Structure 1
Amino acid sequence: MIENSGLAELKKRIFFTFLLLAVYRIGIHIPVPGIDGNALADFFASTQNTLLGLFDMFSGGGLSKLSIFALGIMPYISASIILQLLTVVSPELSRLSKEEGAAGRKKITQYTRYLTVLITVIQGLGIAIGLENMSSPSGAPIVYTAGWSFRLITILTLTAGTIFIMWLGEQITEFGLGNGISLIIFAGIVARFPSAVVNTFRLMSAGEVTLFVLLFLLLIMAGVLLGIVFVERAQRRIPIQYAKRMMGRKLYGGQTTHLPLRVNTAGVIPPIFASSILMFPATISNFSHIEWLNKVSSLFAPGSVLYNIVFVALIIFFCYFYTAIIFDPKDIADNLKKQGGFIPGIRPGIKTKEYIDKVLSRITFWGAIYISVVCVLPMILIKQFNVPFYYGGTALLIVVGVAMDTMSQFQSHLISSQYEGLMSKAKVKGRR
């Protein structure tokens, strides 16, 4: 009976998750008032390789439609990253995250929400003013009636939409299956898959893509996906030994465990930051007619040699930078020393910190190379072989990572329900 209730709870969580994701996808198609949808679609067709195209991917196509969810969950992610950076330099935030426990984390979450609203208001105002000055390639204005009434409606609509998405993500995390924020981004990226398949068959029927090229593309995609799964699960396990201690009449310690260090500790943050920086000149050039800025933008066109070199360099830099922010070897070494743990052959304290830092630096380098290959490979395929590779490396990393995390939670719920069923059977037998 308990086993059945555990499975029923899992089904309920899955249904709840799909229901809220469906609500999110419906909202993507509700536009902000006062917009000419056809003119906006024509404008976004010319901004595929700019920051607008990148943000449109993370919003699940909501920005190109200027829907009520146009900003997506990116303001919340930006606020979270800003708070993480401030935690390193602010003693007050550092104390909240390390010493206050659950109450401190709750306070930081509250600050993140306030900062999300502030970022959304600023971005909403910028988008409203920008749209008033935009027109489609044919010259048609995007906004029907410009002015502060349109700006205020846009700010209120986009802010409310982002707050609602943030609430949806929190509800999925608490009552659904998986991380809600990640699943919302996942849903937005995967939603483009059907149109990509249809477009591929259209190109095949037109003779622009041959069957051999399509099979080659599928093999490359399968190889990339397998590589991502393998590296995302890869760990460097540092052995940890705990000394034996007498407390009263009992002997504690003496066990051996390990400290797992992920090869890709920074996750998808480095390619997002690197893409944003490199796409900035192309974005600015779309709104200006400055000659030198257009030349700089053409030099950093996605797929060019210079773009790929700078892109890889930025990914490596942000891998080390973000890893240094979220992982502190000194804290790990201090905690091990307090708990009586040590690495065999390494002295506790500063030597342990140096050893962990050395190992982390080495595996971070290979993690950065892995991210660079995954992100640059699609652009090379598009540029050199003229194949329709619809998903960039950043999107693939997000999709595979979120799918793996969700499946691990799914398996945990299954194991938990089976364990509860076994315990209930054991109790029944014990009463007899």
Structure 2
Amino acid sequence: MDQRGKYLSCLGYHRKAYVIDWWRWLTRKIPLLEIASPLLKRAAVCAICLVLSRIGNVIFLPGLDLEAVGSNLTSGAEHAALQGDLQGHLFGLASPLSIYSLGIGPYIDASWLLSGMMLLKFPLRAYRHLNTLRRSGREGASALKLYTQVGALGFAVVLGARRAAELRPYAGRRALFVTDTMLQLVAGAMVLRYAVDQNERAGLGDGIALLICAGIGSRYADLLQRLPAALAAAQAPVWNVGLAVAGCGALVYAATFITKVEKRLPLVYYKRRLKERQKEITHGILPPEPQRAPDYIPLRLTPSGTGSLLMASFVFSLLPACMGWLSPAAASALAALMFSPAVKPWAFGVVVMLTCYLDFSGGSAAHDFSEWLGSVDAGVKGISPGPFTEEFLTREQGTLRLLGSLCMAGLAIAAHLLDATCTRQLGFSLDSLSLILMSGFITTAHRQAQALLRIPRLSRALAQERELLKLSSIGA
């Protein structure tokens, strides 16, 4: 290494040491920074992923006559108004001419394909292979993720080619337009998937929910800008607006409460119970052991939280799209029926109920958990181990899934009815279902933030205890 290289290496080392010393000085002055350091890093990654996921919406596909497209092609806003606002965020219809036009639809298609195989157990060979991977720990999860990514790439190619063929009449240059447009759309979908992966790995909350909530938030910003003019045009009483806001708040609170409800099944450790009985038999005096907190199995009413509403929204909007591959006229008729004001709340409620109730794990969750209890020599209190425990867990999970599906379906129907009432009385909708989804994402991110702050707080408490011990030893 020459003198210049040594100088630059030494300069880089000193700069790094200076940054570390500066950060240590800052954390000593502001202790909260040291505690919240992991949270701040994840928040920064989340912000970067959010910017990356939104910047492509303003990058339009090259080679298009935008004026011709705007006058002849149905806009993404009209699609969203016809088939529900949420579908626009799922498929990227808010920017139909951008490189993010496909949105995260290809990845959700691939995920649904694998989930359908697990649910229907067809084809049987593929189901057995997927079930084996699902029970193989991290290696199996990595393989399943790889299959999902490959499937997402395939769906992106097919959907991108179809979108490019639809846009070909409006192309300024026809040579290789379909191929170029398809590649750009596939690249945009993969960039979105990369942002989702990075946020789930090092960010906050669920990546897909983050993208959808970002779209919902941008639309709510536009709604708030138009709100004074809409209220003036509607001439609605103030108490009507207050009731609408209170109704949205009640639905959000109900959704948060439902996602936190759980049934706790007490656990029994057989080795510990045998040891306690042996102590009772012996006549010696044994030192008392500290009381342990009772262990239990938490069975949630809605294991996926508000994610079931998101999944149901995707399925609900996917039905006309699937019909469109067979008959565009039938797809338009089905969409007009499903999204009509009189049918949409109840049809969506049925889809939500089915989505929440169906077991996409292939019915093996209770069996796997029963095997795990046997491996740690534990069981449910009052239930014999083995097949009896598996049967009991299957019955309990089925009951909770049924109750959870009814609760979420009622919540979805109430949200749609409230939006319809707001549209009729105020002239605009508050889109309460989107607020429920945003509350679910915020709740998940809040739980993750609490978990991240727990270890730094414990470390700081231990450091303070060590300092007190040192001071007491010096004083002695």
Give the TM-score range, shorter chain.
Answer: 0.7 to 0.9
Find the aligned partners of 1:175 and 1:23 in 2 and give their Cα distance: 15
AA partner of residue 231 (structure 1): I
Q: Find out whether 1:47 has 2:79 as its counterpart.
A: yes
| Mapping of residues 113-132 of structure 1, within 5 Å | 113-132=149-168
Aligned twin of 1:365:
402
Aligned twin of 1:78:
109
Shift of 1:103: 2.2
Aligned twin of 2:195:
168
The DSSP-based 3-state class of the residue aligned with 1:241 is strand
The DSSP-based 3-state class of the residue aligned with 2:80 is coil
Find the aligned partners of 1:105 and 1:285 in 2 and give their Cα distance: 33
Find the aligned partners of 1:286 and 1:380 in 2 and give their Cα distance: 31
Distance 1:177 1:188, change over 3 A: same
TM-score (norm 2): 0.76
Equivalent residues of 2:79, 2:93 under 8 A apart: no
- Structure 2, unmatched stretches of 5+, are 1-23, 122-126, 280-291
Distance 1:334 1:420, change over 3 A: same
| Mapping of residues 251-266 of structure 1, within 5 Å | 256-266=294-304
What's the % identity of the aligned pairs? Answer: 21
Equivalent residues of 1:63, 1:71 under 8 A apart: no
The DSSP-based 3-state class of the residue aligned with 2:295 is strand
The DSSP-based 3-state class of the residue aligned with 1:206 is helix
Find the aligned partners of 2:270 and 2:301 in 1 and give their Cα distance: 28
Find the aligned partners of 1:406 and 1:29 in 2 and give their Cα distance: 28
Find the aligned partners of 2:116 and 2:316 in 1 and give their Cα distance: 21
Equivalent residues of 2:419, 2:432 under 8 A apart: no
Aligned twin of 2:438:
399
Aligned twin of 2:6:
none
Aligned length: 416
Distance 1:428 1:266, change over 3 A: closer
Aligned twin of 1:140:
none
Q: Find out whether 1:414 has 2:460 as its counterpart.
A: no
AA partner of residue 52 (structure 2): V
Find the aligned partners of 2:209 and 2:133 in 1 and give their Cα distance: 25
Q: C-alpha offsets along residues 45-103 of structure 1, whole Å, 9 cap, x if unaligned? A: 432355585431235x554343222222232233234334445642222222213x222
- Structure 1, unmatched stretches of 5+, are 134-142
TM-score (norm 1): 0.83
Shift of 1:355: 1.8
| Mapping of residues 5-16 of structure 1, within 5 Å | 5-16=34-45
The one of 91, 99, 116 aligned to 1:68: 99
State the Cα RMSD in Å.
Answer: 3.5
Aligned twin of 2:390:
353
Distance 1:23 1:45, change over 3 A: closer
Find the aligned partners of 1:53 and 1:196 in 2 and give their Cα distance: 13
The DSSP-based 3-state class of the residue aligned with 1:244 is helix
| Mapping of residues 14-413 of structure 1, within 5 Å | 14-35=43-64, 36=66, 38-39=70-71, 43-50=75-82, 54-58=86-90, 63-86=94-117, 89=121, 90-99=127-136, 101-132=137-168, 143-145=170-172, 147=174, 149-207=176-234, 209-244=236-271, 256-268=294-306, 270-272=308-310, 274-276=312-314, 278-279=316-317, 290=329, 296-304=334-342, 306-322=343-359, 325=362, 328-384=365-421, 386=424, 387=426, 388-391=428-431, 393=433, 395-413=434-452
Find the aligned partners of 1:39 and 1:72 in 2 and give their Cα distance: 23
Structure with max Cα Rg: 2
